[in-house]
Amino acid sequence: MPMPAADIEALIKAAIPDAVVEIEALVDDGDHYRATVTSASFAGKLRVVQHKMVYEALGGRMGGELHALQLSTAVPN
C-alpha cells in the first residue's frame, strides 16, 4: 500500500520537530521518494546517525509501506 508524501513529512516532523522536510516523488507510485531533511538536531552527528534518526522517525515503514527513500540530511546554515 503506497504512502503519501504528507504522511512521511508528518512522521519526520513528529520525531524531529524543528525539521524542514522537502519530499519529491521519484516515480508516481507512492513508494519511491527523495527527501531532504534539515535540522539543528543533526549538528555534530555523523551522517549515518542523522539518517538513522530519520529512518527511526518512520517507525519501521521502510521496506513495507515505503519501498524506497533517497535521503539527504543537513544542518541549517
Q: Strand pairing of 68-74 and 32-38? A: parallel
Q: Give the cell for residue 64.
A: 513495507
Q: What is the pLDDT of residue 27?
A: 87
Q: Which domain holds residue 23?
A: 5-74
Q: What is the pLDDT of residue 2?
A: 82
Write down the pTM of the prediction. Answer: 0.91
Q: Give the cell for residue 35.
A: 527527501
Output the domain CATH number for residue 37. Answer: 3.30.300.90
Q: Do 26 and 71 form a contact (C-beta atoms < 8 A)?
A: no
25-53 average pLDDT score:
95
Q: Give the cell for residue 19.
A: 525539521
Q: What is the pLDDT of residue 67?
A: 85
Q: Do 20 and 42 form a contact (C-beta atoms < 8 A)?
A: no
Domain count, the chain: 1
Strand order in the sheet with 68-74: 20-25, 32-38, 68-74
